[in-house]
Structure 1
Amino acid sequence: MLGAGVPAEADQALLTFCDDATGERTELSASALGGWAARTAGLLREGCGLGVGSRAAVLLPPHWQTAAVLLGAWSVGVAVSFRLAATAGLPVLEPGADEPLDVTFVARDRLDNWLEDVPEAHHRFALGLAPAAAPLSGVPVGYRDYIAEVRRYPANLPTYALVRRTDPASVDGTSYREWGSLAREVAESLDLRAGDRLLINAAETEHPVKWLLAPLAVGASVVLCANLAPEAVAARASAERVTRVL
């Protein structure tokens, strides 16, 4: 989807992340987001020895770094599980398992609240989700700083064994083909079209099939907004030249 469903020009904005609490505005083209996904793929494959058949828990809010983690994991065949609030009409995947997972990605500010619920994993990464991709000022015991680690890997995807469409993309066994079909169905239900620029309130749309996969499936771009006040939506939509608001 990242390769086929992006804006016509590789340098056009594909994912813009805005946080009204911090003032951050990060704009990523398809090539830039692909670079972060490739670094994540390298971290998982070369740094952790993971690939098809491995399992990851992704305990992160909607964010551009979350997109990099998900796309990087899927690039090397790592099945993911999300920690989400209940979202009507979409599957809620819990990261808990009877045996340890291979890797866990956790937002630093959620770690204290979820400490007892964070699944055991052989590799654990904490994300500060700070503006300008700043590293953590203090790394929790037992974790590694995702940003510090992922920067060690190149921004071009190495050639690995191809992931098959029938391979599991999530820990419940849902395949890549099934997730792709769901993304297209969601895009159709939202009447998304190629070239649309979609504003998404991160607090109200937590599942990545809506804020990431459905737009990618049809070639739409996303303005993902955190801490967005309702009265600020119209002004943000105008400033970002948004065509649709979700």
Structure 2
Amino acid sequence: MNATDRTPADLLRSALVADPGRPLVTFYDDATGERVELSVATFANWVAKTANLLQGDLSAGPGDRVALLLPAHWQTAVWLIACASVGAVADVAGDPAAADVVVSGPDSLEAARACRGERVALALRPLGGRFPRPPEGFADYAVEVPGQGDRFVPFAPVDPEEPALVVAGAEYSGDEVVRRAVADSAPLGLTGPGARLLSGLPYDTWDGLSAGLYAPLAAGGSVVLCRNADRLDEEGFAKRVESERVTAVHR
């Protein structure tokens, strides 16, 4: 990161300048066998497209609340930084009825229908696949995002002092997210560029979000994000740690 970074989107821009080709997020789902690896450049491209969808098609802007009804997943990480890019508040597991936009996985569609604003559904299928049949009343993210622009410019400047994230009942500004992520880096074992943290924590607490995205991004490292890792036995887990060259584990 740079000393001038004050939002999560700033952290991603700095990572893109420093080393666009290095891994940033490696995602495993041990219920499906999926493995996806995104470099900084690829992750940033997904963020730009998602931010353009959010700002353009969904009409979200600074201060708007986006309820993220999503598990720990690489696409959730994309949405978190896309919200920060627009200036919208990422409300993790937030109340859809109080949100301007809701983004839902396949298991929370009924709850998401309480949102009176725009609704987006993610199938969370391997390789970002679409729903076989789009849920009624929702835009299918996998259908809508590919045609969005590869570069993003916010319509209005993002104020780092304004709310950017709500998780587990706590609200954080963009600047607070960055400062907390930096402070978490060393305790999490992210001691320098190239550090690689494996996280099996859910995304419903600050600790899970920090280990699973923000701290590795701030430290110039990367995260191996594991969903359903409890399905791995100890031998399988040890093999993953070795094969992925993990330097720190939190689960």
- 1:160 deviates by 3.5
Paired with 1:117 and 1:35, the residues of 2 have a C-alpha distance of: 27
2:128 aligned to which of 130, 133, 147: 133
2:190 aligned to which of 167, 192, 195: 192
- Asked whether the 8 Å contact 2:164–2:173 carries over to 1, the reply is yes
Paired with 1:64 and 1:165, the residues of 2 have a C-alpha distance of: 24
Paired with 2:22 and 2:216, the residues of 1 have a C-alpha distance of: 15
Match of 1:17 in 2: 27
Give 1:238's aligned amino acid. E
Paired with 2:20 and 2:175, the residues of 1 have a C-alpha distance of: 25
Match of 1:104 in 2: 102
| Structure 2 residue matching 1:208: 3-state secondary structure | helix
- 1:5 deviates by 4.3
TM-score computed with the length of structure 1 as normaliser: 0.85
CA shift digits 1:143-184 (9 cap, x unpaired):
111111111201222354321211210356521111212212
Matched, 1:73 2:83: yes
Q: 1:170 to 1:22 in 2, by over 3 A?
A: same
- Asked whether the 8 Å contact 1:6–1:216 carries over to 2, the reply is no
- 1:188 deviates by 3.1
Alignment of 1:25-36 (within 5 A): 25-36=35-46
- 1:210 deviates by 2.3
Give 2:196's aligned amino acid. R
Give 1:72's aligned amino acid. A
Unaligned runs of 5+ in 1: 84-94
CA shift digits 1:191-239 (9 cap, x unpaired):
3222201111145986322210111111110111122214121100111
Match of 2:7 in 1: none
Q: 1:118 to 1:198 in 2, by over 3 A?
A: farther
Give 1:126's aligned amino acid. A
1:61 aligned to which of 64, 71, 79: 71
- Asked whether the 8 Å contact 2:190–2:196 carries over to 1, the reply is no
Alignment of 1:1-246 (within 5 A): 1-5=11-15, 8-83=18-93, 95-96=94-95, 100-111=98-109, 115-116=110-111, 119-158=114-153, 160-170=155-165, 174-194=172-192, 195-202=194-201, 207-228=208-229, 229-231=232-234, 232-246=236-250
When the two chains are superposed, the root-mean-square deviation of aligned CA atoms in Å is 2.2
Per mean C-alpha deviation after superposition, the further-off stretch among 190-199 and 169-178 is: 169-178
Choose between structure 1 and 2: higher helix proportion.
2
Unaligned runs of 5+ in 2: 1-10
